[in-house]
Each structure stands twice: as structure tokens, then as C-alpha cells.
Amino acid sequence: MEQLLLVLFLVFSVVSALLERRKRRLQLEEAQQRQAKSPPSAPPTLDDEEEEDAQWGGWPFPAADPFEPAEAPAPVATAAAQAQAQAQVRQLEALAHSAELKAVAQKAEAQTRQRQARALQSPRSVAELLRQRQSRPLPARAPGGYRLTPKSARDAMVYAEIFGPCKAEREQEWRW
């Protein structure tokens, strides 16, 4: 069934591609016939361009050419405006200076905290930690107690399977 669907899909794809190609070819032939029947049009004259400008509102830019650099008007500076500008500059410089001092203080504080963190935690490698754990003596077994290791756990699982009831006869609630 899947193979039949695949074959039908492929056939449909090929047929639709061929029909689309034929449709484009017919449209191209019709366009060529229309061009052959109609005389070539003359380029638009200056009057046509003026009519188009009038239709679209003319030249949208206020100056002659928008791509030529415009001359900047000469700045008119008064004494009051200059004094106000200098006051603003001094105020901004004071704010910048205080921000720089604050940033330096925060950087120093961050460095001291990093040093404190390094002093509290000495970095140790994984290999060093494993050696330390292996060198520690294991606690002595309590009298009558069992020491559980990975090997003894595997052995216990094997013995439970061997000595316990077979799985087919176990009840759902059976536990050791």
C-alpha cells in the first residue's frame, strides 16, 4: 500500500511539473505574439514626464538636489547660551567623575571578595579527592553487621535469583 502511494505521488509530481512547463511555454508564445502585433512604443517625451510629475505632486524635496551636501547655518551664540552650555558640561563632567570613582570602588570590592572566596575554597583536583577517599580506612564492621560494597551487592542479587523462587511462580506481592 505504501509503495502504491509513493508511485502515485511521483506520477502526480511529474505530471504537474509537465503541465506547468506547458502553461509557461504557452504564456511566453502569447506574449511574443502580442509584442509582434503592437508597434514599438516611443520613449516618453518631456511633456509626459512633466505630466507624471504633476500627477504625483512634483519634486518632493524642498531644495534643488537632495544628494548635494547642504550648508549648515551659522550658529548664533549668545553669552547666556554659552554660559548655560558650559554649566551643563561641568555638571556632566562631575557626574562622569563620580561614576568613574564608583566603578573603581566596586571593582576593588569585587577583587577583595574574589580573594576571600579563593581563600575559603582551595581548588583540589578530582584525582586528589579520589586518592584522599581511598587512603581513608573503612570503618570496622560492627559485630554481626554486614559491610555493603558494590561486589557484595552484585553477589547478593545473584544469590537471590538462584535461591529464590522462579519468576514464573512468584506472586506479584512476593518480596524477600
What are the per-10-residue average pLDDT scores of the chain (176 residues)? 87 91 93 82 58 59 63 72 91 94 95 85 73 73 73 88 74 58
* pTM for this model (two decimals): 0.28
The answer for residues whose C-beta is within 8 angstroms of residue 147's C-beta and 6 or more apart is 138, 141
Within a domain: 101: yes
Q: Look at the chain and report how many structural domains it folds into.
A: 2
Within a domain: 7: yes
The answer for residues whose C-beta is within 8 angstroms of residue 176's C-beta and 6 or more apart is 160, 164
Within a domain: 88: yes
Within a domain: 73: no
pLDDT (0 to 100) of residue 27: 93
3 state DSSP class of 117: helix
Within a domain: 87: yes
pLDDT (0 to 100) of residue 47: 60
Backbone angles phi, psi at 35, to 5 degrees: -70, -35
pLDDT (0 to 100) of residue 130: 79
Name residue, grid cell 576571600.
116
Within a domain: 19: yes
Provide the grid cell at 7: 508511485
Question: From CA 97, how far away is CA 122, in angstroms rounded?
Answer: 38
Structural domain span for residue 115: 80-121
Within a domain: 168: no
Within a domain: 134: no
